[in-house]
Chain A
Amino acid sequence: MIKLNLKKDSLRKVNELLQNLDQKSNDRSFKIINPDGNHAICAGLKEEMDVTIDGHVGYYCAGMNMKADVIVNGNVGTGVAENMMSGSVHVKGNASQSAGATAHGGTLIVDGDTSSRCGISMKGIDIIVKGSVGHMSAFMAQSGNLVICGDAGDALGDSIYEAKIFIKGEPKSLGADCEKKNMNKKDQDLLKSLLKKASIDENQLTHFKMYGSARKLYNFNIDNVSEY
């Protein structure tokens, strides 16, 4: 394992090293110490590698991630794994707002809570939050899955497209066009595989409810013409 110390090396130097990892390199395991809340740590990684960050980090940690597996032993700021394409990010603490925003793929696991707008405009990512999420989570979520083991704040799934939300607790309120759905066998298998990814007991499965789009906002409703 290669140790990188952000007290000694600049953030740019550390990020450039990870972003430009030689495809042929066999040294693919890194540990970053003293992150001290710096922003954009591990942003833009595009090779398979394991990176463990020891401590709390700032905004956009592992943003745009492709292929890399990043573990944060601490809390993360705004926009962790935003626009992730593939790979995984595992946050052992809490996450701030917009966790996994606009991400196309990969897996984001948060052991604690996330604040508002978790999975906003998500486009294919799997997000598993072991705690609760804040308001406006899964806003305009297009594709992918958001699993919430705790509760959700106001307006869960507002204007949601085809993403799926699984929640064990209760949403404080639902957003426009978000409704409770019946879970079929396929959905249950999907949830089972998601729980497995985050090492959550599969027996918890029956406690979850599923939410998705009522698809009433997809087409213009002529009855509303007088509103415009």
Chain B
Amino acid sequence: MCGIVGLYLKNKKYNKDLGKFLTGMMNNMSTRGPDSAGFAIYSTERKKKYKYSICYNDNNIKEIKKNLSKEIKDAKIKIISDHFVLETSLKPVKVISIIKSYNNLNLVGYGNSIEIFKQVGNPRDVVNNFSLKNFSGTHAIGHTRMATESAITTDGSHPYSTGEDECLVHNGSLSNHNNLRRTLKKNGIEIKSQNDTEVAAGYISNGLLNKKSLKETLIDGLKDLDGFYTFISGTKNGLAIVRDEIACKPAVVAETNDYVAIASEFQAMAHLPNVNKAKIFEPEPGLVYSWGK
């Protein structure tokens, strides 16, 4: 089943409420996915600074903080539950190799704008653990997972990020992900898990690396990705949604002058301001919708 949500704010006055709104959306989708949850928050881009969202698992975080601060001079570290966000101006190639030199540190995502968190457990607990309600930003994506094709682990949780400031959540399952994984790996895309959605995220990264827009990449995906899906994908510029042509997996969009909310079910957005006056529609099968700057 799984629940997916996305929120793109058009009106800056709601930026401070982004986390609060997304908390309600995730909580209301916990019935669709009680196994694990995750979310990505995009805030205003800081051109020269990179943020790395890292899950530290069972490591001693104090020791890691001390060692990382020695290796990366301008490192700022913010600890949230079993994740920390490392902020530095050091280039990704260098930082990623440093992170890889540590045992059992998982890089969940990185970029100028994105922060990304995911954890096993009921979504209501997960959003509490990460204090999602305190986050502000411009747009966000969330996922509540009912595991079907791979294990209930943090690695198997969404969103998946396989490129700078990119992420993807998915409701559905893909049937040709093994083949695609091999092809993408040959193209140099790093895919860490056995999960089908990570392959789709890799597919998007590959398209963006080849200078295609998110929308163009998702349109290509309609022929290349076999299975059923509703995807919500984010970049630092905005959000996009696409449903496969059979459209078994639900999605509803509510658009007002202030925001665009996307969710698997309307009840996820029933608490948003003036939602009853919003333009509400179901994305058509096989069409890509995107919002952003």
Instruction: List residues of A whose CB falls within 8 A of some B CB.
Output: 36-39, 55-59, 74-75, 77-78, 93-94, 96-97, 115-116, 134-135
Inside 8 A of B276's CB, which chain A residues have their CB?
A: 55-56, 74
Contacts of B265 in A (CB 8 A): 37, 58-59, 77
- A74 contacts which chain B residues (CB < 8 A)? 276
Using known A-B contacts A78-B250, A96-B250, A116-B247, determine if residue A58 contacts B281 with beta carbons closer than 8 Å: no
Given A55-B276, A94-B280, A96-B282, A115 contacting B247 (CB threshold 8 A):
yes
User: Which DSSP category, helix, strand, loop or mixed, fits chain A's interface?
Assistant: loop
Also in contact, A37 and B267, with CB within 8 A (given A78-B250, A96-B250, A116-B247): yes
Q: How many interface residues does B have (CB within 8 Å)?
A: 16
Contact residues in B for A116 (Cβ distance below 8 Å): 247, 285
Q: When chains A and B are docked, how far (Å) is the Cα of A59 from the Cα of B266? A: 10
Chain B: CB-nearest residue to A58? B267
Q: Is the CB of A56 within 8 A of B280?
A: yes
Give 9 new A-B contacts, CB below 8 A, not counting A56-B270, A97-B247.
A37-B268, A39-B267, A56-B266, A58-B266, A78-B250, A93-B280, A96-B252, A116-B247, A135-B285
Give B256-267 as 1s and 0s: 1 = Cβ < 8 Å from A's Cβ atoms: 000000000111
Closest 9 pairs between A and B when the two form their complex, measured CB to CB: A37-B267, A37-B266, A36-B270, A37-B270, A115-B282, A56-B266, A58-B267, A116-B247, A75-B280
- Of all chain B residues, the one with the shortest Cβ separation from A36 is B270
Chain A residues whose CB sits within 8 angstroms of the CB of B268 once the complex forms:
37
Chain B residues with a Cβ under 8 A of chain A: 247, 250, 252, 265-271, 276, 280-282, 284-285
Residues on B with beta carbons closer than 8 Å to the beta carbon of A134: 247, 284-285
| Smallest beta-carbon distance B271→chain A, Å | 8
Nearest chain A CB to B48 CB, angstrom units: 43
Kindly list chain B residues whose C-beta atoms are within 8 Å of the C-beta of A94: 280-282
State the CA gap A1–B247 with chains docked (Å).
40
CA distance A97 to B282 in the complex (A): 10
A88 to B97, CA, bound (A): 65
Which residues of A sit under 8 angstroms from B247, Cβ to Cβ? 97, 115-116, 134-135
Q: Which residues of B contact A97 (CB under 8 A)?
A: 247, 250, 282
Distance (whole angstroms) from the CB of B242 to the closest CB of chain A: 15
Residues of B within 8 A of A75 (CB): 266, 280
User: Residue of B at shortest CB range from A95?
Assistant: B282
* Distance of A77 Cα from B265 Cα, bound (Å): 8
A36 to B285, CA, bound (A): 25
Are A36 and B267 neighbours in the complex by a CB distance under 8 Å?
yes
**Cβ distance A133 to chain B, nearest Cβ, rounded Å:** 12
A161 to chain B, nearest CB (A): 23
B21 CB, nearest partner CB in chain A, Å:
15
Nearest to B31 among chain A residues (CB) is A39
Cα distance A58–B32 when bound, in Å?
13
Central interface residue in A37, A55, A57, A94, by most chain B CB within 10 Å: A37
Q: Closest chain A residue to B247 by CB distance?
A: A116
What chain B residues lie within 8 Å of A78 (beta carbons)? Answer: 250
- CB-CB nearest in chain B for A35: B270
Tell me which residues across on chain A come within 8 A of B280, comparing CB atoms. Answer: 56, 75, 93-94
Residues of A within 8 A of B271 (CB): 36
A/B interface sample: 10 pairs, CB < 8 A: A37-B265, A37-B268, A56-B266, A56-B270, A58-B265, A58-B267, A74-B276, A93-B280, A94-B282, A96-B250
**A77:B281 contact, CB within 8 angstroms:** no
How far is B268's CA from A94's CA once the two chains are assembled, in angstroms? 18
Q: Which chain B residue has the least Cβ–Cβ distance from A135? A: B285
B156 to chain A, nearest CB (A): 27
B267 pairs with A38, CB closer than 8 A: yes
Residues of B contacting A93 with CB < 8 Å? 280
Q: How far is the CB of B219 from chain A (nearest CB, A)?
A: 18
| Closest B residue by C-beta to A55 | B276
* Chain B nearest CB, measured from A220 CB (Å): 28
On chain A, the residues within 8 Å of B250 by CB distance are 77-78, 96-97
Closest CB of chain A to B233's CB: distance in Å?
22
Min C-beta distance of A128 to chain B, whole Å: 20
